[in-house]
Structure 1
Amino acid sequence: MPHHEHDLPRHTADQIERANESGRTPVVFIHGLWLLPSSWDRWAALAEEQGYVALTPGWPDDPETVAEANEHPEVFAGKTVGQVADHYHEIIEALDRRPAVIGHSFGGLLAQILAGRGLAAATVAIDPAPFRGVLPLPVSALRVASVVIANPANWWRAVPLTYDQFRYGFANAVTEEEAKELFDTFAVPAPGAPLFQAATANVNPWTEAKVDSANPERGPLLIVSGERDHTVPRAITEAEFERQQRNPGITEFVEIPGRGHSLTIDHGWREVAETSLDFIRRFTA
């Protein structure tokens, strides 16, 4: 794939340049729906403390701030899984060293797509969205997805979550007070398309929501599951783990007790971050 680094946002190009100059192992963080790259700021700082160089690139056209995102939701509209995967592919190709990749939710699906393309030194997928071949459809996951997929017009729209939807989908395992704080601090609109793509992956042979789980270049993979996650319940993460275990690479699964889909951003983020970075450390210099 040709380099179009001039097409990448300035701050992403700067992060790539900084990573390449550092000579350290890069860790690329990929966020999911309804969050921005800034949701990884504490993780990035921890990774840097541990000797990595952290990159937190956005999806194409991500705004810088939550306020800006809520003011201009239309910038999120129409992004598809394939388009976003290719965007991160281009970023990783511009790095001098093969990075570790950590993704949450749809970012965890994207991380597995990129690993399946042989681009990652090690991968952590945290409560990752499902891909083709992952069959369980738990009621709670359908309830979250229906926020978007109940209306076919949402394919081309950006869809925000109400507080109640966020409370159910992300913040069900924290206090009401923390849930409100997380909603105000982190929640932004999200493109509808990826949720339709995940929902139809098993009936669409041409789906972009597919992962090459057999590629021997995939490298080591850890799937992290929050025990109380409504959006991506254990039935989904376990089914992903089953499919990924066909890979010759190391494939591991860990459940974090008592945690919901907000596990990367809530008060317990550090436990998840340390679990993720401990895994990566085993396979990177």
Structure 2
Amino acid sequence: MTDSARPVLFIHGLWLHATSWDPWIERFRAAGYAPVAPGWPNEPPRVAEARANPEAVADIGIDEAAAHYEEIANSLGDETILIGHSFGGLLAEKLLGEGVGAGAVAIDPAQIKGVLPLPLAQLRSGFPALGNPANLHRAVSLTEAQFRYGFGNAVSEEESNELYERWTIPSPARPLFQAAAANFVMHSPAAVDTKRSPRGPLLLISGTADHTVPDVVTRSTLKQYRDSMAVTELKQFEGRGHSLTIDKGWSELAEAVLEWLKSQGL
């Protein structure tokens, strides 16, 4: 890696700690990039600290997270690539639509304004937060069983439990409420400028077995970009769930992202 290496900003979603990107950081650094994976606003630097201090991230919403990552991306420079998972994918889309970054990859991205499908599996995955209106201003943790359904349904129970113990943290529920209400709010923070042209290329990735962001939701997200002349593509990974960035198949996904970036000259 040289001083001129292109920056890559990894953005995690709810219920995973920023260090869940560590294997990706190593792989992208080896490929010649300059990757970083900062946490959400106020997120403690270690998993154990985040679990012990859930109130640190309570009430953080989409706009606050977007402003946080926009500042980081701008500090890295215009050539920065944005790679996000789940709500991190929504943030990557949102920032790219605002002219931030040279290109983006949104992996199982959370539902943006305009996306209509709302499968039962997605509702069940979001219920730990959305099931109690009082959670709006709280940070919420998943149980092992809830993580198994929402993230680890496509891997063994043993692997799901290992991932849960290694990476999960309490996360703000507010972004889930904002995304759920997006189509009923005129100026929703979950809105993305999908018509922007020109902009950098965007790759959407879905796992076809994902419960938290089902494949039909990501395919509907792709349709939101139909009025943009910029490159927008979808890659589906058969039989993969929401844990696809952290489970034992993560390297297959990372290699596919690297290959796509190379094809786009990024």
Please, what TM-score do these two structures have when normalized by structure 1?
A: 0.91
Q: Is the 8 A contact 1:77 1:158 kept in 2?
A: yes
Give the CA deviation at 1:70: 1.0
Q: Distance in 1 between matches of 2:265 and 2:8?
A: 10
2:182 — aligned with what? 201
SS of the residue corresponding to residue 120 of structure 1 reads coil
Structure 1 position 218, deviation (Å): 2.6
Amino acid at match of 1:237: T
**Counterpart in 2 of 1:119?**
100
Task: Give the aligned partner of residue 38 of structure 1.
Answer: 19
Structure 2 residue 67 is the aligned partner of structure 1 residue 86: yes
What are the Cα deviations for residues 22-51 of structure 1, in whole angstroms up to 9, with x where unaligned? Answer: 211111100000011101011011111111
Q: Which residue of the partner structure matches residue 154 of structure 1?
A: 135
Q: Is 1:95 aligned with 2:76? A: yes
The answer to whether the aligner puts 1:58 opposite 2:66 as a matched pair is: no
Q: Where does residue 257 of structure 1 map in the other structure?
A: 238
The match for 2:220 is 239
Q: Give distance in 2, aligned partners of 1:101 and 1:217.
A: 17
Aligned length: 266
Q: C-alpha separation between the residues in 2 aligned to 1:267 and 1:153? A: 36
- CA distance in 1 between counterparts of 2:77 and 2:181 reads 36
| Correspondence for 2:156 | 175
Show structure 1 runs of 4+ deviating over 3 A: none
User: 2:192 matched to 1:192?
Assistant: no
Letter in 2 for 1:103: G
Unaligned runs of 5+ in 1: 1-18
Residue of structure 1 in register with 2:124 after alignment? 143
Question: Per the alignment, in what secondary structure is the counterpart of residue 261 of structure 1?
Answer: coil
CA distance in 1, matches of 2:68, 2:198: 20
Counterpart amino acid of 1:202? N
Aligned-residue sequence identity (percent) comes to 48
| 2:12–2:18 CA contact under 8 A, matched in 1 | yes
Q: Which runs of 5+ in 2 are unaligned?
A: none
- Aligned-partner residue type, residue 185 of structure 2: N
Aligned pairs (5 A) from 1:267-278: 267-278=248-259
